[in-house]
Amino acid sequence: MISQLEREVTLRFLRTKKQDGFLNIISIFSFIGISLGVAVLIVVMSVMNGFRTELINKIVGFNAHAVVQPENKTLKYTQDLDLAKNIVSNDGEAVILNKNITKGVFLKGYLESDFRNLQIVKNKKFFGSKNLNDNNISIGKELSFILNVEIDDTITVMSPVGIQTLAGTLPKQENFKIVSIFDSGLSDYNENIAYINLQTLEGFFNKNKEDRFIEFYFKDPRNIEIHKKNLITLFPDALVYTWSDMNKSLFSALKVERNVMFIILSLIIIVAAFNIISGLTILVKNKTRDIGILKSIGVSSKSIKKIFFLVGFFIGTSATLFGVVVGTLFSIYIESIKQFISNIFGVSLFPEDIYILNSMPSEININSIIIISLCSIIATILVSIYPASKASSLDTVKTLKYE
């Protein structure tokens, strides 16, 4: 417990006098440093959380949440599964030819009715017809730029499956009409994925209906590991993979980057916290006479230690709270701030072609704020212990000998 005397003396020491000018400067820099470190950490973590969430939403919106692929046995397709909406599909790799331009692509085949219900087709950035029948094809925006084609143009697609001719085995080729162009929001997908009719794909790659996959779309795709375990139980003889499996390296890299940024930026708080040691050490030196007087009237060494500890703790805690407020407000209005800076200096701080997203994402995570605040306060507590201990160990006689 903190006594009335300890509280009053702590507040008195916090109100430094004019002759303590250098001490004031150190205290101000300690406060600003800790606040800045906490605020920057919150902003960076919020942006990285937002970027990860936006990336997941785009990937999940474009891909099936989980795919079950047959290995030894034919999959039993049913619409009665309560897990999620599920549709059949198939795929294969091919090469697209247009004049002197060639590009390898990954073809995905769907029934026309299923293709119409895909999230990417319902997207506002989907242009053209939704009729995916016969030799119609739907390609991505970036792929259309590479091939220099538009809707209603015809392209040639070459299959790795060979056909026997008098001249020997030749790759199978067919002409496809571009009926639509989609934009997933991810350039890699737009450049390397194309859609054709499922039955056309099976004929093009010499595949059977038994080779078809089952794609699952869940209401909550974030709990994908739980859904994956359920699917493995339902389809023990099949290969089950999810959107998380297909993008594991990407999200692992984001996680490592996030942790490294947290460690690096935490050094700002630690360096600022060490300024508290300097401030308290100078305060102890300036208040040597006051310490001697307090001890001479019966104040215990424990109370002296507690007083100086509370001075450091108050500076660190108030700076942390101020940093939380600033960082949270900055995270909430970061897009407006970005636009303001861009307009003033005429520079693009978040180019869409590089970062995929057209706005700077931000997602405030309460757990992250709590962890950052605790780390800051713990650092403050640790650096306040030593100077407080030195103050309590001062000898009363020596402190008052020359006073």
Same domain, 114 and 25: no
Per-residue CA distances from 287 to 41, 111, 251 (Å): 35, 83, 54
Report if residue 72 sits inside a domain: no
Q: What would the pLDDT profile of 163-221 be if each residue is shown by its tens digit?
A: 666 555 677 889 999 999 998 877 788 899 999 999 999 988 888 888 888 888 888 77
Angstrom distance (rounded) from CA 367 to CA 209: 48
Bridge partners for 109 per DSSP: 90, 196
User: Do 119 and 210 reside in the same domain of the chain?
Assistant: yes
Q: Which of 57-66, 294-303, 391-400 has the lowest mean pLDDT?
A: 391-400
What number is the average pLDDT over the span 340-344? 79
Same domain, yes or no: 301 and 350: yes
The HSE-up count of residue 142 (CA atoms within 13 Å, CB side) is 14
Partners of 193 in beta bridges:
106
CA 95 – CA 107 distance, rounded (Å): 9
Choose one of 217, 237, 267: the last residue of a domain: 217
Return the pLDDT at 180.
94
Query: What angle separates helix 334-345 from helix 301-332, to the nearest 10 degrees?
Result: 70
| One domain for residues 138 and 264 | no
268/313 same-domain check? yes
- Residue 240: inside a domain, yes or no? no
Do residues 201 and 90 lie in contact, with contact meaning Cβ atoms separated by under 8 Å? yes
Q: Are 290 and 397 within one domain?
A: yes
343 is in which domain, residue-wise? 4-56+250-401
- Interatomic CA distance for residues 306 and 389, integer angstroms: 9
User: Which residue in the block uniquely carries the two structure tokens 């401030």?
Assistant: 279
For residues 43 and 89, state if they share a domain: no
The mean predicted confidence, pLDDT, of the chain is 81
Instruction: Give 255-313 pLDDT, tens digit per residue.
Output: 888 888 888 888 888 887 777 777 777 777 777 777 777 777 777 778 888 888 888 88
Tell me what pLDDT residue 348 has: 66
Q: Looking at the structure, tell me whether residues 262 and 373 fall in a common domain.
A: yes
